Structures are given as structure tokens and as C-alpha cells.
């Protein structure tokens, strides 16, 4: 199911409609939906498509020549990138190379052929060439140095990111909001992972089938993904295992691993560049003495789930103790795991409400405040230069007055004076808190039915 991607589609269409030849680089992790996006974009365009193989330059050329001859009626008499591209450009306005990095790996002439084709003028016809890659690390760090001066001909880069929570709701129309939040917290927004989730199975059945059985489609996926982007997997496994256990400070990772702080910083930097890890800072307030400094956490929801629940239990899973792992290791803490991502959903909700002018103000900036005695789930500044704060609760009990009082105490420690309070709860609110909210025009209660 192709959902979302309106901005990405508009980006491509705007470049295609320009009166100029263009070279666009589209990239993102495997399974993120690049091919589906390009297929949707090109459906009504005269397009030539090629998926690169990992092979020699000669074999690549022969394969390309054969495919383009058979499927597109090109003569392809001369076997060179220059000749094939020049002929293709005479007949097609869009040429897509999927996993083009595999061509560059063994060819010094591919980019020259691209550039020559773009330099030509085709009467009453535009030429757009799209280079697509799943190697995020390579595109962002090595591609320009690999192709040298030819990089000057690149018109734009487009990085394809994960789907948002509203996209997840659209993707699973028969699911409740609670179900969608659980899926979001387990898989994140990677379409390739969402597509193997079975709506007819329970959350437990899906986790068992996809993650815990040795033949499950996601059993080794985290490792396979990281292997395509990173070397020294053993070191990254160690750091991600630490983070998944809640060791979020550099010193905590140092104490656990024995790696030097400099080494840890380098590997964390690489994981941050891949959008796997993020470094989070407490929202800047006057209460700086009460905050935690420089925390790291796993940003990628799928990777977080895998390293928290699969990686430490591989021995049992290899011995087919899947039920034991689920009942003993996953079920007791799954709600706690999902709670982190419920906060993200609430933040997305507030931003959408702000964007659609559904709040009494516009959100200028929003983040989290990490105090030594607790966390303010969301805190920010409005267009009126006032503060708003909020709390989310994902649990089997309703949010009550004590939870609200805890938030108020953290607000004191942060030394801010909010004009607006937002409370979100999976299981609603106690009656006394609802009565309190009716008497306060700056306290808003939101449950799952309202999301």
C-alpha cells in the first residue's frame, strides 16, 4: 500500500516540470519506500528504469544493454554508458538508476555518461535522471568525493525518511489508535517492515512470527541493515546493547564497555548520521542545575525493539524458546517500551494541531526537559512567547491528580511559568482531574479517542 509521501512526490514533480535537464539523487535505508515512490512518480511519464547489480563494469553494461533492447526497443548497438544513455535520452524524459552506487563501485565511466546526456539539448523534451541508493552512509559521506567534479551536475538530493504516525493510522484502517501506537513503537515508520505486519494477528502473534522465530522476516533484519552501512559490527552491537538497557550517558557506556570515550564518541556519531541514535539535550530553561546533561538514546524504533528484546535473547531463540522469551522478557515491559513512543505521538499531534491552527497559539519550538527527578514529556515556546508543557501516560491506569502534581513539581524545578498544560492518557483521566480541568481554561485533557 502506497501512502503518504505527498511532499516527496511534489519535490520530484516540481523538478520534472522545470524547463531544464536535472540530476536528482534519491536515497534512504532499504525498505523505506524509495522504489514505490519512484514508481508512483513515473507512472504517467515516459520512463526508463534500471536496477544495478553488484558486478563488473562489462557485465553491468551487457545486462543494461540486454534489458533496454528487450523491454524498450532501443538498438543499443554500442556497449558503453555514454552510447546507451545518449540513445535512451532521445526517447525517454525520465531515466532511473536504482542502487546506482553498485555501478560506481566498478566503473569510472558511468558518471561521464550521465553528465554528457544532461549536457545535451533535446528539442521540446526535458531529461531528468534519478540516481537512487539505499546506502545512506555512502551517499552522505563518500559519494561526492567518489564522483568528484561530476557532483556539480547534481540538481538536488532527496532523503526519504520514515512515515509519520498519521501515515501509520492510514496504513492500518482497521486498527484502533492504541493498536497503531503499538505498531509504531515496535516497527517505526519503515514501509518494508509495516508491509510484513499481519493485521489479522494479535500484537503477540506478530512479534512472535516476525522477530522471535528463526525464519521470521525481521529476525536478523537489524543486523543485516547495519551490515550494509557500517563496519566493525561488534562494536556497534555493544553500544546499541548498552543504550537499549537504558545506559544513556557517555560515562555509562564507558563503564560498561571499557572502550575509550573518544572511540565511543566516534561510533555514536556514525549511528547518529544513520538516524539510528540521537543525542538529546534538555530543553533550555533557567533550571539548568536540575537537568541531566548530554543523553544518547536509540531513535530508530525498530532498532530499539530489536536490541532490547531480540539481541539479548538470541541463545534462547536459537533453542526455540520463543514463548519463554515473549512471556518472560517482552510481555512484562512492552507497555513501558511503547510509552516512550506514545510521547512522540503526542508531540506529533500537538505539532499538527499547531500547523492546522487548532490551538490558541502556534508552536515555535518544542522539546523535552530531562530533570534529575523526572522528565517533562513536552515543553516549548509559543508564538506569543509563552511556555506550554505536557505529560503523556501510557498505562493501564488513568492519569490522575498525583500525575499532574508531579508535572507541576517538575515545572518548578525547570523554573518556567507555563500558560498552557496538555495531558495525554491511554486510559483516560480520573473524575477529580476532569472536574479540575473544567475549572481551568488552560488545562487540556486528551485521550486516545481524541487523537
In a domain, 436, yes or no: yes
Measured from the Cβ of residue 35, the count of other Cβ atoms closer than 10 Å reads 19
Claim to verify: residue 61 and residue 15 sit in the same structural domain: yes
Instruction: Give the percent of the chain with pLDDT over 70.
Output: 99
Query: Domain holding 64: CATH number?
Result: 3.40.50.300
Pairing of strands 156-159, 128-133: unpaired
* Residue 256 predicted with pLDDT over 80: yes
**Last residue of a domain, which of 159, 183, 209?**
159
Among 66-80, 385-399, 419-433, which is the least confidently predicted range? Answer: 66-80
Please tell me what DSSP assigns to residue 200.
Answer: T
* Residue 427 predicted with pLDDT over 90: yes
* Residue 75 predicted with pLDDT over 80: no
Residues 376-405 have a mean pLDDT of 96
**Last residue of a domain, which of 116, 138, 159?**
159
Query: Domain holding 417: CATH number?
Result: 3.40.1350.10
- Residue 437 — very low, low, confident or very high, per pLDDT cuts 50/70/90? very high
Claim to verify: residue 220 and residue 356 sit in the same structural domain: no
- Nearest-angstrom CA–CA distance, 316 and 318: 5
Query: Domain holding 189: CATH number?
Result: 1.10.10.10
Claim to verify: residue 17 and residue 84 sit in the same structural domain: yes
**Predicted local distance difference test score (pLDDT) of residue 123:** 66
Residues 163-172 have a mean pLDDT of 94
- Residue 1 — very low, low, confident or very high, per pLDDT cuts 50/70/90? low
Claim to verify: residue 185 and residue 200 sit in the same structural domain: yes
- Residue 171 — very low, low, confident or very high, per pLDDT cuts 50/70/90? very high
Q: Can you give the pTM of this predicted structure?
A: 0.92
* Residue 122 predicted with pLDDT over 80: no
In a domain, 253, yes or no: yes
- Nearest-angstrom CA–CA distance, 392 and 151: 46
**Predicted local distance difference test score (pLDDT) of residue 82:** 92
In a domain, 245, yes or no: yes
pLDDT tens track for 40-55: 999 999 999 999 999 9
**Last residue of a domain, which of 317, 338, 359?**
338
Claim to verify: residue 181 and residue 106 sit in the same structural domain: no
Claim to verify: residue 62 and residue 36 sit in the same structural domain: yes
- Give how many domains the chain has, as a whole number: 3
Claim to verify: residue 316 and residue 413 sit in the same structural domain: no
Claim to verify: residue 71 and residue 88 sit in the same structural domain: yes
In a domain, 141, yes or no: yes
Claim to verify: residue 376 and residue 400 sit in the same structural domain: yes
Domain that holds residue 222: 165-338
In a domain, 1, yes or no: no
Q: Nine-digit cell at 289?
A: 542545575
- Nearest-angstrom CA–CA distance, 38 and 50: 12
In a domain, 46, yes or no: yes
Kindly report the CA angle at 330 between 326 and 336, in degrees rounded to 5? Answer: 160
* Residue 74 predicted with pLDDT over 80: no
Claim to verify: residue 180 and residue 260 sit in the same structural domain: yes
**Predicted local distance difference test score (pLDDT) of residue 286:** 94
- Nearest-angstrom CA–CA distance, 172 and 374: 34
In a domain, 29, yes or no: yes
Claim to verify: residue 275 and residue 173 sit in the same structural domain: yes
pLDDT tens track for 133-166: 999 999 999 999 999 999 999 999 999 999 999 9
Claim to verify: residue 149 and residue 171 sit in the same structural domain: no
Tell the residue number behind the cell numbers 541514535, with chain if given. Answer: 277
pLDDT tens track for 300-356: 999 999 999 999 999 999 999 999 999 999 999 999 999 999 999 999 999 999 999
Amino acid at each position: 500500500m502506497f501512502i503518504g509521501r505527498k511532499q516527496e512526490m511534489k519535490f520530484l514533480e516540481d523538478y520534472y516540470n522545470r524547463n531544464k535537464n536535472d540530476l536528482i539523487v534519491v536515497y534512504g535505508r532499504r525498505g523505506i519506500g524509495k522504489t514505490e515512490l519512484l514508481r508512483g512518480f513515473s507512472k504517467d511519464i515516459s520512463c526508463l528504469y534500471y536496477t544495478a547489480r553488484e558486478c563488473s563494469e562489462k557485465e553491468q553494461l551487457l545486462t543494461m544493454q540486454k534489458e533496454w533492447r528487450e523491454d524498450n526497443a532501443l538498438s543499443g548497438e554500442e556497449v558503453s554508458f555514454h552510447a546507451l544513455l545518449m540513445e535512451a535520452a532521445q526517447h525517454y524524459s525520465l531515466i532511473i538508476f536504482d542502487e546506482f552506487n553498485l555501478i560506481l563501485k566498478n566503473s569510472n565511466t558511468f558518471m561521464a555518461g550521465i553528465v554528457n546526456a544532461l549536457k545535451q539539448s533535446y528539442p521540446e523534451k526535458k531529461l531528468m535522471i534519478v540516481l537512487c541508493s539505499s546506502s545512506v552512509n555512502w551517499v552522505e559521506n563518500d559519494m561526492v568525493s567518489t564522483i568528484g567534479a561530476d557532483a556539480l551536475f547534481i540538481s538536488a538530493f532527496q532523503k526519504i525518511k520514515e512515515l509519520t504516525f498519521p501515515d501509520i493510522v492510514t496504513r492500518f484502517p482497521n486498527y484502533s489508535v492504541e493498536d497503531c501506537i503499538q505498531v509504531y513503537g515496535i516497527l517505526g515508520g519503515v514501509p518494508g517492515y509495516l508491509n510484513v505486519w499481519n493485521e489479522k494477528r494479535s500484537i503477540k502473534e506478530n512479534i512472535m512470527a516476525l522477530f522471535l522465530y528463526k525464519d521470521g522476516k525481521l529476525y536478523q533484519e537489524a543486523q543485516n541493515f547495519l551490515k550494509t552501512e557500517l563496519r566493525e559490527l561488534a562494536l556497534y552491537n555493544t553500544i546499541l546493547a548498552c543504550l537499549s538497557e537504558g545506559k544513556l550517558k557517555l560515562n555509562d557506556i564507558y563503564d560498561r564497555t571499557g572502550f575509550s570515550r573518544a572511540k565511543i564518541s566516534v561510533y555514536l556519531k556514525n549511528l547518529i548520521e544513520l538516524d539510528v541514535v540521537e543525542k538529546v539535550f534538555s530543553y533550555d530553561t533557567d533550571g539548568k542545575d536540575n537537568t541531566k546533561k548530554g543523553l544518547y538514546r536509540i531513535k530508530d524504533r525498530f532498532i530499539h525493539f530489536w536490541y532490547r528484546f531480540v539481541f539479548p535473547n538470541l541463545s534462547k531463540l536459537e533453542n526455540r524458546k520463543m514463548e519463554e522469551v515473549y512471556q518472560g522478557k517482552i510481555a512484562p515491559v512492552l507497555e513501558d517500551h511503547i510509552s516512550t513512543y506514545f510521547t512522540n505521538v503526542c508531540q506529533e499531534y500537538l505539532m499538527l494541531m499547531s500547523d492546522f491552527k487548532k490551538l490558541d497559539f502556534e508552536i515555535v519550538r518544542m522539546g523535552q526537559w530531562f530533570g534529575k527527578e523526572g522528565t517533562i514529556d513536552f515543553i516549548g515556546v509559543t508564538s506569543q512567547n509563552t511556555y506550554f508543557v505536557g505529560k503523556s501516560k501510557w498505562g493501564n491506569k488513568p492519569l490522575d491528580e498525583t500525575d499532574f502534581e508531579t508535572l507541576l513539581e517538575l515545572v518548578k524545578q525547570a523554573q518556567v511559568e507555563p500558560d498552557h498544560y496538555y495531558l495525554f492518557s491511554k486510559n483516560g483521566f480520573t473524575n477529580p482531574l476532569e472536574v479540575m480541568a473544567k475549572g481551568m481554561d488552560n488545562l487540556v485533557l486528551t485521550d486516545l479517542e481524541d487523537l
